[in-house]
Amino acid sequence: MGRVHSLLLVALSLPQIAIFAQTSGQANTQTPPPASQPQQLTLAQAESIAVANQPRILAARLRALSAAQRTREARSGLLPTIAFNATGVAVADTGTSTAAGALTTSSISDRFACGGNLVQLITDFGRTSALVASQRSLATAQQDRTTLTTAMVRLDVRTAYFQVMGAEAVLHAAREAQANRALISRQIGALAQSQLRSTVDVSFAGVLESEAELAVVQAESAVEQERDHLATAMGENQPITAPLVEEPLPATLPLDASTFLADGLAQRADLSEAVSRQQAANRYAAAERRLSYPTLNALGAAGSIPYRDHTLHDSYAAAGFNLNIPVFNGGLFAARRTEADLEAKARTRDTEELQLEVSEQVRNQWVRANEAFRSLEVSARLVAQSKEALRLAQARYDAGLGSIVELNQAQLTETSSEITAASANYDYLTRRAELDFAAGLLN
């Protein structure tokens, strides 16, 4: 949750956001929206909008449809090819019977003929079938790419959603600090008029009040930026203004990453894509190995010749076959076969490498999520301790035993602990989302 951490660090570096009074501890409390504001937005609704609108997903779906058409293109080689032809020749020289070049004797005669030709592959020893299987595997790989794109968009939405809530937690703390700094400033001013506090305390309180106001301005800007980022993740052109609904914390993590690791190896869409591309490469290599095999085609032609030389029939029909046996082509087929075999072996190694990466990612994300989960209890305890320290510092200051600097430090520590607790919640939610993505659970 890098962006939220940056916001929290900015807030923690400014003493102006210290909270004098006891805060509610609810990090995502927002100012009540006006009546014209849209309804609340849940994480599930945000993901649904993103899946429907995100251009990345729409482009991936179109590419999947395009890949399916390439399968049809390859399969067309197994079906017959039928063509209609019409040929006419006129103004031929009288008595012409032969010609040089590409025109045969019949081409010189005045005539008009129309008919059709048919070519049907009988066998190429499975080469076309292997090409069809290869394209089918590539189409499956593109579908897996669409699934992966969807999972990435869902992860982006979840991350942006929690970043908005984290930024609003900082804004809530900054507003609370501003209100309490103003209260302190007024109280110290009144005491100074009664000569119970020095002008130094008054000046210091005024500085802290101004810094708290500046923190509110910066926090409001950060919230707007994070909401813009959420809109982009959702595929929306306008900023998201609806209040976000708090997401409950996920269930307790398992004791180890084995369950997530099994899910990742079985469900990761990019790993499935790599396997499909490996299969496509193997099938294409099989097709290239059959380049040197003979090809047998059946041929047929039929038509009529309404305008012709009187010595010819008024129709024609013929059937035959063509057997093509490759003999020598300068090593072209051998080079293509070797290239395809090497590419298939390389795809196998790519798949193995990705399996290692997926395993590492799942383990690392589990460790990060477990760290965030363990931080929840510690941060809650830190909040309780800092509240008690603030109470004692307030009592010392009221009794004239402590300085305003000491009180300010206690306030800053209490505010920092509140923000740390909120950060822990959103860190855990974000890291669980990253763990779910690594395990393929966002497909």
Q: How far is CA 372 from CA 263, 361, 363, 396, in A?
A: 21, 16, 14, 35
Tens digit of each residue's pLDDT (9 = 90 or more) over 63-75: 999 999 999 999 9
Average pLDDT over residues 265-293: 96
Q: Are 382 and 420 in contact (CB under 8 A)?
A: yes
Comparison of pLDDT for 292 and 403, the residue scoring more = 292
pLDDT category of residue 107 using cuts at 50, 70 and 90: low
| pTM of the predicted structure, to 2 decimals | 0.78
User: Is it the case that residue 13 has pLDDT exceeding 50?
Assistant: no
Q: Selecting from 1.20.1600.10, 3.40.50.150, 3.30.360.10, 3.90.1170.50, what CATH number does the domain 2-16+40-88+106-308+333-438 have?
A: 1.20.1600.10
Q: Which of 246, 209, 250 is nearest to 30 (CA)?
A: 246
Q: Which residue has the tokens 């209890």?
A: 377
Average of per-residue pLDDT values in the chain: 84
Average pLDDT over residues 411-434: 83
Please give the pLDDT value at position 94.
59
Q: In what order do the strands lie in the sheet with 111-123?
A: 81-89, 111-123, 295-307, 315-324
Distance from C-alpha of 16 to C-alpha of 20, rounded to nearest angstrom? 11
**Helix, strand, coil in percent for the chain, rounding step 5:** 65, 10, 25
User: How many CB atoms lie under 10 A from the CB of residue 301?
Assistant: 16
Please give the pLDDT value at position 16.
36
Average pLDDT over residues 50-54: 94
Comparison of pLDDT for 350 and 9, the residue scoring more = 350
Residue type, 284: Y
- Domain range summary for the chain, segments of one domain joined by +: 2-16+40-88+106-308+333-438
Q: Which of 180, 212, 222, 217 is nearest to 17 (CA)?
A: 212
Distance from C-alpha of 135 to C-alpha of 71, rounded to nearest angstrom? 5
pLDDT category of residue 310 using cuts at 50, 70 and 90: confident
Tens digit of each residue's pLDDT (9 = 90 or more) over 120-143: 999 999 999 999 999 999 999 999
Tens digit of each residue's pLDDT (9 = 90 or more) over 200-252: 778 877 877 888 888 889 889 989 999 999 999 999 998 899 999 998 888 78
Highest-confidence range of 24-33, 200-209, 315-324, by mean pLDDT? Answer: 315-324
Please give the pLDDT value at position 12.
40
Distance from C-alpha of 270 to C-alpha of 228, rounded to nearest angstrom? 29
Please give the pLDDT value at position 17.
34
Comparison of pLDDT for 362 and 401, the residue scoring more = 362
Helix axes 127-193, 55-75, angle to 10 degrees: 180
Please give the pLDDT value at position 442.
93
